[in-house]
Structure 1
């Protein structure tokens, strides 16, 4: 998608979490191997079946269609239920949320510096993730950036999940910004398709699993990571809030 001079300015930026604020592979691949080992009780054959169910291999990592990448915790739970007959869906979901909240998110860039820069420009910042809201808040707090976001919305916050545009529109409404003046930043087609459906602008990053060729048709720009946002915004002479 070409950037043109008639695009609206930006008053707010809505970030995806995993693969955008945090490097997906560095955050979740080691975590997944450990969780599957604990769920299986050390049974390597069961751990392998559980991995297959969620598109994960301890040697190859996540497959591009893994529900862990852009799906919700409920979707991941549903994939695991048939292989864990001694656990209820509620038990599995609670365990996954607890394990996820305790994960060590790996920032995709210097997040405090980046967010301070964007905040100083008068931009309203938020997070919308298909993860649980409580897990998202735990991860943001773990790296000291929770107070930078006006709203944090998860798939369980009552607005649905991406690629549905409703949670994105809930953010725009919550911060009082027209959707056309919100930039959605994400690493998956779910993020960018949701942005399009919501009437928002979209930028993609390569700190997830998806490739440049997969993301480019859906975004104005594909950046190596979100650290490139200020430079891109300046290069496009994008008007900021209040300008």
Structure 2
């Protein structure tokens, strides 16, 4: 493996939160905006920082909408599960001595509340959340924060993610990007250095 550091997105990459995130947003839109949006209508907002989503959807009270969305999300969090092969892959990378980290659009609280991530935190040398960088993905700031925390050479860092925002963040920060095809709907439209069908494919790089 030519990479000394591997960085993971969370939602759609490590954990399948699509249904949890979209249904909870759908409930929030219904409750606060009084209109119906299908899950397909809402998919473009999946993986976007929550504060940015409430702005884009023009909720009248942004803070209230964010709080209600988080409440609905937590009530549905039991629907979120790790993708098959993720834990085994993290363990194998750890045993190889690969330095790992997380760059996510979740807040620190959202990250720490996740029951699955709690079991994996010892794998990650650094975690960068929404409030840890001046600008969110697709800006390079979150990845630059990771590079600063770890002292990693961007040429030897691989960012594994499932969205165009992840790819743009990696590219702007000068790191390689691998598409997590198992969690991406629009993979054919995203340029990547590596296209991964399964989490275990990372071990073959």
Q: TM-score, normalised by structure 2?
A: 0.84
Q: Which moved more, 1:134-143 or 1:8-17?
A: 134-143
State whether residues 133 and 154 of structure 1, in contact with CA within 8 Å, keep that contact through their aligned partners in structure 2: yes
Deviations 1:188-227 (A, max 9, x none): 1111121111111111111334333212xx2111112323
Of 119, 123, 127, the residue aligned with 2:94 is 119
TM superposition shift of 1:11: 1.0
Does 1:19 find its partner at 2:12?
yes
Question: 1:75 is matched with which residue?
Answer: 52
State whether residues 181 and 196 of structure 2, in contact with CA within 8 Å, keep that contact through their aligned partners in structure 1: yes
Q: CA RMSD in A?
A: 2.6
- Distance in 2 (alpha carbons) for counterparts of 1:80 and 1:192: 24
Does 1:40 find its partner at 2:69?
no
- Distance in 2 (alpha carbons) for counterparts of 1:9 and 1:159: 30
User: Which structure dedicates a bigger proportion of its chain to helix?
Assistant: 2
Does 1:200 find its partner at 2:175?
yes
What SS does structure 2 have at the residue aligned with 1:202?
strand
User: How many correspondences in the alignment?
Assistant: 203
Question: 1:229 is matched with which residue?
Answer: 202
CA distance 1:119–1:75, change in 2 (3 Å)? same
State whether residues 132 and 145 of structure 2, in contact with CA within 8 Å, keep that contact through their aligned partners in structure 1: no
Does 1:91 find its partner at 2:59?
no
Question: 1:3 is matched with which residue?
Answer: none
TM superposition shift of 1:163: 1.2
Does 1:100 find its partner at 2:73?
yes
Question: 2:147 is matched with which residue?
Answer: 172
Does 1:128 find its partner at 2:103?
yes
Question: Which segments of 5 or more consecutive residues in structure 1 lack a partner in the other structure?
Answer: 1-7, 52-56, 234-243
Q: TM-score, normalised by structure 1?
A: 0.73
State whether residues 103 and 143 of structure 2, in contact with CA within 8 Å, keep that contact through their aligned partners in structure 1: yes
Deviations 1:103-144 (A, max 9, x none): 232212233321111111111111111222221232264562
Question: 1:28 is matched with which residue?
Answer: 18
Asked which structure has the greater CA Rg, the reply is 1
TM superposition shift of 1:28: 2.6
What SS does structure 1 have at the residue aligned with 2:34?
helix
TM superposition shift of 1:39: 5.9
Q: Which moved more, 1:206-215 or 1:69-78?
A: 206-215
Question: Which segments of 5 or more consecutive residues in structure 2 lack a partner in the other structure?
Answer: none
What SS does structure 2 have at the residue aligned with 1:204?
strand
